[in-house]
Amino acid sequence: SIIINNARPNVIRTFATPAQSTSGGTVNIIIRYSEPMKVVDTTGGIITDFSAYPYPLVSLKLSILSTSVTANKVARTATLLEIRDSDAVFTYVVTNRDPTGTIYFASSSPLLFRNTSLKSIQTGTDGPKVLADALATQALATIDNNAPYVTNVYSPNVSTSYPFGVGDVIDIFVHLSLAVVVFETPTLELTLNNRAGVYAIYAVTNATLLLTVPLKTLHFKYTIASGDSATPLEYASTTALKGYLMRYSTTYPSIVADLTLPNVFSLGSIGYCCNVQVDSSKPYIVSVIPLKRVGIYGENETIYILARFNKPVIVFGYPELKLNVGNGLIGYAKYVSSINEYDIIIDIRDTDVVFDYRVQRYDNVLSLHHTDAYALELTNNSKIYHKTNSPSLSADTLLREPTDKTVINGVVERQWKFRFPYSVEILLRDLYHTKPDSLTVSVEHIGYSSTLFSGCCSGKTFGSSYPRSRTGTNATVVNIDTGVGNDYMFSDTLAVNIATKGSVSQSSTIVSGNKAIDNNVDPLIGDNSVSETAEENDPWWQILLPSNSTIQSFVVWAREPQEWIAPVVSYTIRGLASYPQGFYKLAISNIDLSDSSSGNVQSAFVPMGATATEVQALIQKLPGVGNVDVTKRFLPLCASDFSGCGDGYEHGYGYVYELQFSSLRVSAPSVSIIDIQFIGEQTDAVNITKYNLPKNVMPYQLITHVDVIRLGYYVKVSATPQYGKGVAADTTGAKVVAGSNEWLTPFWVYLFDKLPPTGINASIAECLWFQRFESINKLVNVVLKKPYNVSYLKIQREGYGFLSLAEVQVYEPQLKTLASYHQGSPVYPSYLTSNYQPADPMDLTFQNVEFDGRWQIQVTQDSTVERDVMGWSGSYGTISEAVLIVTDLAGVVHSYYQDLKAQVQSLTKYGQLIYTVPHTSSPYGDWREAFEVGKSGQLVPLSGSERSLGYCYGEQSSHCASSFGVGPLLNDRVLGDTPETIYFRSERVVVYKPYTNYLGPDYFTYIIYDGINVQTHASTYGAVGSVNEVTIHVRNCRRFQAEVTSGIESAVHPICVCAQTETSLINNTALCDAARTFICSSATSTTTSNSNSSDSVIETSTTNEGFYDEADKFLSMCMTCFDPARGLRSGDCQTQTIRAVSLMTSRGLCSSEPTMDCSGETITTPGREKVNYLSLRPPTLYGAHSRLKNSFGAYGWYSTPSLT
């Protein structure tokens, strides 16, 4: 029958608390009725204590829907816990067997009763056993039984400038997804020295904390020991973390943590994030640098000398540095813990040990230097240790002999470096050229060369051509005959090479891939600075860059072929009275750098006077020595008067043997003469009897010595172009092109934001950017069109063969090379504070040679390129001069000019010419004294060479008022007075001062000597001449005069607060910092777009063509001062700030006086004489005064102040 009972209780709600639980936790599921309820047994008795029964009286069937991919359902049962008024409370204890998922009712009839029923207290009627669909299907609670897993591993000990060493403690943190408790002390296996089995120690040692404290981060420590190395530090594998960790629970932990680590060198690993470099080798001396300029120093003057190590060091005690001060004397420079000198611009680093030498009365040496290899003495038990958390590793203080400046492994180290360059810059002045793409400019010095640019800027010009500006040759536009050049300055980028902070891997290893990021561009593998894979298909090399790297430029340096020049050692055996008789042995060591145990051998006894063949046979029997070429010669005998003999002379009775070690690959094998058995030395009675000598025998001296005649070294040889096996030169099957490299070409470069795949096709498909390179000579310099957020840069050779790289450099900003120039024509001149970069970096090219000696700037052009008819007389172009600027390791700037001198031939007529001399108002000149000038004296006529002028009382005389003090010309002389001979060198600047109130044209002439020869050029009507002319237009600068009269002041440039004082390189550091921050914060932001492209991205771009903001103008300063590794107090920042102040000062922008801007004046008053112009006509098309935007360093700044 169908019964309707409105009095029956209803289920009005179902829910659970808590909403989420995990293993060990309890979930209470509540069914809420419309009225209070009770549980009764079969007799009608009310049951209140459910725990008294051995079985559940009322159960609730549940279902857990797993969140796994398969979405399995698991049946579970909750039991009635209590009746709480109208709520029936069921409880379920979650276990580790339960899946992570959502709890539901198993069905719409989830209740199970065992000899019981659930009734209303008010009416006694049964509650419903079937739930409404809306209640039966709703989710009740969730179970989170996920196992904790490792999300990432990191270290705060990120290497910045130097690796960590012995005694340093590396903190390593393992971060987990969920809190855990430690049941068994964990360990973390690391990879050090290319081997596993090294373990970091868990930092929590209190056993009571292991089981009680919930942790989401595990802290490990590793103390670096002797022999450790890592580039960078990484754990051994994904299973390197061992231990027993359980997920934290408020009851009892029961879920085991997953200790699998992220893949090595991938996102989440310590090698990916943190670049912890480990190097436990001893610090050694890189350079010894005297912090003084070239000059003569007298008694009691102080000379600071800096010993720079390759790693930070700490000094205990007071070591000394021995100096050769002449006259056979030794000077002792004393260690000082700090210095406070205003004129030392370079940084004193943690790697530096500074010594103080006070010049003594009898010191007399032309070139101060250290005494020998053992000049740095640890006196009185002094110590120099590697500076770490616990310093214990002694530094290597060995130097090289002062005369030994051989390049070893691509560098000169352990040496006195007084005249070695820190930076090299080249200034090309007044470069005018109509076909830049035919032009190559390079700089050479002592066998080293660097290309500034080659074949750039197609369709553009250097400088500008001006039509119809010279008389006699301006009939048509084609005959453009005046070319005005611009100044272009080249210097290496000041950006940080972020590749040195990266982590390298390669497809296989013959030579470590890290050799390609050691900041050594030496291209010879024998010099131990070149990477190499095995010979294989499509070998690759890749670098994991520092986290969050954005790059816009990179440089790939190629390996080059080499040839070994074998070392030569000579030894001498000499007697003073007769040819020596007896025997000796040769001890030879340092013959195997890779195995010191086999690097010390001894020959059998060698008879004194043995032939070259006999000596060769005995040496070549020794293990590890190989082939040796031996020559023997007799020493010349003493003169008949016995002159030229004795100690220090190579005369007498003896022999010299020269040994050329053809098979050894060490720079200097060590040869010693040992176990000498020499009759002349046996003087005692026992030996007289032993050798059956006459009793009146006289002993005579035996002299032996060993000399290194030539160190072994590698030299470059001609390349053999060769592609990878199976790769055609191009699609037409042509021969291998010039520039192909047998260890590299053809090759691909890719950029990735993730771990790269191995294959070429897969790499192309997945990368952000790629480029294929058919050929390479010395290097490939790539400037990207836009910035890329990059994790990996990968280089892959195409085909079968080796992959070998000399160096890879990666930069975040764009390199400003002319090859990447794409803006307007003419090519923009350089800012002094924002130079162009050379195609080949100069600093690394010339760092190993002293800058004394001859430098050559070579300008060549491709003669096959057709000339531009719009050029100067149909030519290609002209250049005024090249200037070499070298900053040495002490921060001192040296400027070197061509051997050019100017001589004024005729003076101006209506004004004075004043010559200049180098001058700066700066207390510490450096850069400023190299280029700034000041007025000196007036050029005066040579007696008897004046023009023939009529009577005049002078400039202010009423007799000549209309001619400004210049009398009437009495003949037809065109030129002004001939001056006394004065030669202008270096800057060659003269100042023109017009006579009072004079307005109109004026001119003077001059010639240029190049060495002893007078320069010539094509002049009017194509004639060859040597005289140059300067035309001056004196105009009424009304705007300037109005500002002067009105007292209107010009704004002072913000950077001027950084000027120097007597006591500081920076006047007011707080104001200067604010000014630099303001200037450098004006940089234009660029949006990054990571689209995959095969475009040949070797061009640069800017957002606003032709526009430069303040940060662009001061790029060098901004790049150094706001680089986190250098900062506002660094020497590089100070140097660039001084340059910026110099530029502003020389342009008058550090003065509030009105700016002399006459650019609005277009008319020149007619001249006063019959001839007022030489060949230069008055400008018609370009009438206004040209601003100084194209002069050296002044683009965009238009003022020229009066010289003081």
For residue 350, which phi and psi values (nearest 5 degrees)? -65, -15
d(CA 599, CA 619): 14
Q: What is the pLDDT of residue 1095?
A: 43
Cβ atoms of residues 305 and 297 within 8 Å: no
Q: What is the pLDDT of residue 1204?
A: 40
Name the token pair of 1016: 């010539």
- The pLDDT of residue 1186 is above 80: no
Residue 984: name the closest of 919, 917, 909, 929 by CA. 917
What confidence category does residue 1108 fall into, taking pLDDT thresholds of 50, 70 and 90? Answer: very low
In terms of average pLDDT, the best of 81-90, 266-275, 950-959, 1135-1144 is: 81-90
Cβ atoms of residues 127 and 9 within 8 Å: yes
- The neighbouring-strand residues paired with 323 are 331, 370
Average pLDDT over residues 818-839: 88
Mean pLDDT of the chain: 84
Q: Is 85 exposed, middle or buried (0-12, 13-18, 19+ CB in 10 A)?
A: exposed
Residue 634 contacts by C-beta under 8 Å, 6 or more apart in sequence?
654, 655, 656
- The CA angle 905-931-904, to the nearest 5 degrees, is 0
Residues 199-252: tens digit of each pLDDT: 999 988 665 556 678 899 999 999 999 889 988 899 999 999 999 999 988 778
First-to-last alpha carbon distance for the chain, in angstroms, is 122
Average pLDDT over residues 429-458: 91
- The neighbouring-strand residues paired with 182 are 245
Cβ contacts of 955-958, under 8 Å, gap ≥ 24:
955/995, 955/996, 956/996
Cβ atoms of residues 183 and 246 within 8 Å: yes
d(CA 136, CA 561): 81
**61 or 341, which is more confident:** 61
Name the token pair of 1055: 């950077």
Share of the chain above pLDDT 70, in %: 85
Cβ atoms of residues 993 and 914 within 8 Å: yes
H or E stretch covering 707: strand 702-710
Cβ atoms of residues 428 and 441 within 8 Å: yes
CA 19 vs. chain centroid, Å, equals 56
User: Identity (one letter) of the amino acid at 1125?
Assistant: A
Q: On the CB side of 1127, how many CA atoms lie within 13 Å of its CA?
A: 5
Name the token pair of 370: 């250290």
Print the SS3 string covering 871-910. Answer: CHHHCCEECCEEEEEEEECCCCEEEEECCEEEEEEECCCC
What confidence category does residue 478 fall into, taking pLDDT thresholds of 50, 70 and 90? Answer: very low
- The pLDDT of residue 687 is above 80: no
Print the SS3 string covering 1108-1121. Answer: CCHHHHCHHHHHHH
What confidence category does residue 89 fall into, taking pLDDT thresholds of 50, 70 and 90? Answer: very high
Query: 614-618, 938-942, 1163-1167: which has the minimum mean pLDDT?
Result: 1163-1167
Name the token pair of 555: 């440089």
For residue 270, which phi and psi values (nearest 5 degrees)? -70, -30
Q: What is the pLDDT of residue 19?
A: 94
d(CA 766, CA 246): 39
- The pLDDT of residue 1101 is above 60: no
Q: On the CB side of 986, how many CA atoms lie within 13 Å of its CA?
A: 14
Residues 121-158: tens digit of each pLDDT: 988 899 999 999 999 999 999 999 999 999 999 999 88
- Concatenated DSSP letters of 508-559: S-SB-GGGGGSS-----GGGT---B--SEES-EEEEEEEEEEEEEEEEEEEP
Radius of gyration of the chain, Cα coordinates, nearest whole angstrom: 43
Query: 238-242, 420-424, 703-707, 830-834: which has the minimum mean pLDDT?
Result: 830-834
Q: What is the pLDDT of residue 301?
A: 92
Query: 371-375, 553-557, 1131-1135: which has the minimum mean pLDDT?
Result: 1131-1135
Q: What is the pLDDT of residue 160?
A: 73
d(CA 856, CA 850): 15
H or E stretch covering 441: strand 439-445
Q: What is the pLDDT of residue 732?
A: 55
**853 or 1147, which is more confident:** 853
**1067 or 1090, which is more confident:** 1067
- The pLDDT of residue 92 is above 80: yes
Q: What is the pLDDT of residue 883?
A: 92
d(CA 1154, CA 1042): 9
Average pLDDT over residues 731-737: 54
d(CA 80, CA 31): 11
Residue 349: name the closest of 321, 317, 314 by CA. 314
For residue 707, which phi and psi values (nearest 5 degrees)? -130, 140
Q: What is the pLDDT of residue 682?
A: 44
Q: What is the pLDDT of residue 781?
A: 92
Sign of CA dihedral 479, 484, 485, 486: negative
- Concatenated DSSP letters of 895-948: EEE-SEEEEEEE--SSEEEEEEEE----SS-THHHHH-EEEEEE--BPTT-S--
Print the SS3 string covering 585-631. Answer: EEEEECCCCCCHHHCEEECCCEECCCCHHHHHHHHHCCCCCCCEEEE
Q: What is the pLDDT of residue 786?
A: 92
Q: What is the pLDDT of residue 475?
A: 37
- The pLDDT of residue 1187 is above 50: no
Average pLDDT over residues 271-298: 90
Residues 994-1046: tens digit of each pLDDT: 998 899 999 999 999 998 899 887 655 566 788 888 888 888 888 888 888 89
- The CA angle 673-675-676, to the nearest 5 degrees, is 75
Q: What is the pLDDT of residue 600?
A: 83
Print the SS3 string covering 108-175. Answer: CCCEEECCEEEEECCCCCECCCCCCHHHHCCCCEEECCCCCEEEEEECCCCCCCCCECCCCEEEEEEE
For residue 571, which phi and psi values (nearest 5 degrees)? -135, 150
Question: 0.75 cut: is pTM over it?
Answer: yes
DSSP 814: P
